[in-house]
Amino acid sequence: MNGLAGTPLLLRLGLRRERVIAPWWILLLVTMALVMVAYVERNMGTFELKATYTEMINRNAFFRALGGGTVEPDLGVLSSWRSGGFLYVMNGLAALMSVIRLTRADEDSGRTELLRAAVVGRYSPLTAALLVAGGVSLAGGALTAVVLVAIGLEPTGSIAYGAAITAAGWVFAAIGAVAAQLARSAHTARVMALAVLGAAYLLRYAGDASGQAWMVRASPIGWSHLVEPYRDERWWMLAVPLAVAAVLAAAAYGLAGRRDLGAGLVSERRGPASAPRLRGPISLAWRLHRGLLASWAAGIAVFAAAAGGLSTLAHQLSEAPGASVAHLMENFGGSGASPLHAYVWPIILIFGYIIALYPVIMVQRLRADEAAGRAEAVQATPMTRLRWAGGHLLVAALGTAALLAVAGLAFGTLFGVLVGDPASDVPRILAAALGTLPAAWLVGAVGVLAYGLVPRACVAISWAVWVAVAALGRIAGPLYGQWGGTPFEPFHYLPDTVAGAPFDPVPALVLAALSALVAGGGLLALHRRDIG
C-alpha cells in the first residue's frame, strides 16, 4: 500500500480537529503585533522619545536580549522588536503542540491504530500533521503581515516579519515531528520538544545579552530575529530555518519507518519496583508532581535572575533627564516611590501572573487523571476522593508559594547586588513576592470550583480565567491605556510595599478566605458528583 494513502482525508480530519484551537493562536499573534504597534505610538509618539528609548535599549545588554538585538527609532523596528521575541516563540509552540497532538497523542489513544485499519498509509498521519501545523503557522504569519500593512507599516518589512514568524513555526513543527517518533508517549514528546524550544530561547537570549553572535546564529529562535524586518530584511536568512525544517522532517519520516506503531525509538527509564514512601495522598501528589515543580522552579529562577539584571536599565532610566521617562516608570509605583524602586513592583506582578498558572495546571492534572481512569483506580483503595484531591491541592498550594519564593530570592538578590542594598532589598522583595500568593491561590481555586461542577469544561474555564486575570492586570493594562489595571482581577488589590505603600493585611486575608471558600465549594461538588 502507498505510504501516503489517505493523506487528504487525514488532512481534512486534522483541520476539523484544529478548527477550535488554531484560530485562537492566529488571533493571539495578530493581536499582539497590533497591540505593540499601538503601545509604541502611544508612549513614544515623537521621534525624540523614540530616540531616547532606542539609546537606552541599545546601551543595556539585558534589555537588548529581552527583545532581541539593537533597535532604531522607527515604529516598525520598535514594535517588531517588542513583539517578535514573543510571536516567534508562540508560533513555534503552537506548531510543535499541534504536530504531537495529531501524531503521538493519537497513537497513545489508539486513534491511529483504528485509522490504519482502513486505507491509510504509514506516513499519512505524519504528513497530515505537518501540513496542518505548517498551514496554521503560515496563516498566522501571513495574516499578521497583512494587518500590519493595512494599518500603514512598511509593506516589505511587514512581509519579512510575517515570514520570520512562519519560519519559526515550521522549524518547531519539524522538531515536534522528530520528538513524536523518538518518544514513547505524547507527554515525553512534549517535554522533549518544549526543552528544545526553551533551550533555543535561552541560547538566543544569552547571545544577545553577552554579545556572542554565534549563540544567536545557533538558535532556531535566533534565525527569525536575524531576518531583521523593517531594517535590513535579510531574506536569505529564511533559507536556514527552511532547510533545517526540511532536514528534520525527512529525519522524522525515516524514524517513522523504523519503529512499530505505538512504540518509541528512545526507551523510557523504568521506575522503581516499589514506593516505600508512598504512604498517603500528599506523598502520592508530591511523587507525581515534583518533576513539574522542579522544572518550573528552574525556569522561574532563570527568568528572575534575568529580570534582576534588567535593574541596571531601571537605574539608567531613573537617572535619565526628562519627565516623560520618570512618569512612565512611576505609573507603576506607589506614592513617593523612586523610579528605580517603581521598577520592582511590575516585575513582581509579572512573576505573580505567571506563577498563578501553576495551580491552574495542577487542577488540570486532576481532570486528566480522572479522564484516564487513574483517579478511579486510586479510589479503589481506602483513599477517598476528597483525600486524593486534597493532597494534590495542598502540593499545588505549597508549590505556588515555593515558586514565588524562588522568584523573590533570585530577583531580589540580583537587584540588591547590582543597584541596591542586598541586606534590605532581598527581604523586602521576597516579602512582596510572597504577598501575591493569595491572589495566585484564588486563580487556582476558581479552577477547582470548575473541576467540581463542570469537569468536562474545567480546562477551558481555568485557562480563560487565567488569561482574563493577566489581560486585565496592571502589566497588560498599559498596552491599552489602563496603567492601574482594573478591579476585576485579584492582584489589583495587593499593596506595593516595595515602593512605599503601607502594609495592609486585609486584602491578603480576604483573598485567602475567598480562595478557601471557592476551593472548598469545588471539593464539595466533587464529593457529590460521579467520577468520570
pLDDT at 241 over 80: yes
| Contacts of range 256-262, beta carbons closer than 8 Å, 24 or more positions apart | 256/122, 256/123, 256/126, 256/181, 257/122, 257/123, 259/181, 261/107, 261/112, 261/113, 261/116, 262/107, 262/108, 262/113
**How does pLDDT run across 106-164, given as a tens digit for each residue?**
888 788 778 777 777 788 889 999 999 999 999 999 999 999 999 989 999 999 999 99
**How does pLDDT run across 439-488, given as a tens digit for each residue?**
999 999 999 999 999 988 888 899 889 988 888 887 776 666 666 677 88
How far apart, in whole angstroms, are the C-alpha atoms of residue 476 and residue 484?
10
Average pLDDT over residues 17-43: 87
**How does pLDDT run across 254-276, given as a tens digit for each residue?**
998 888 777 777 766 666 666 66
Supply 102's cell numbers.
Answer: 495529531
**How does pLDDT run across 445-454, given as a tens digit for each residue?**
999 999 999 9
Question: What is the per-residue pLDDT for 483?
Answer: 62
Alpha carbon of residue 230 to chain centroid: 26
Average pLDDT of every residue of the chain: 84
Average pLDDT over residues 199-209: 85
Contact 240, 223 (CB under 8 A): yes
Cα dist from 381 to 247, 283, 378, 384, 523, whole Å:
50, 15, 6, 8, 19
496: left (phi over 0), alpha (psi -120 to 50) or beta: beta
Give the number of residues written for the chain.
532
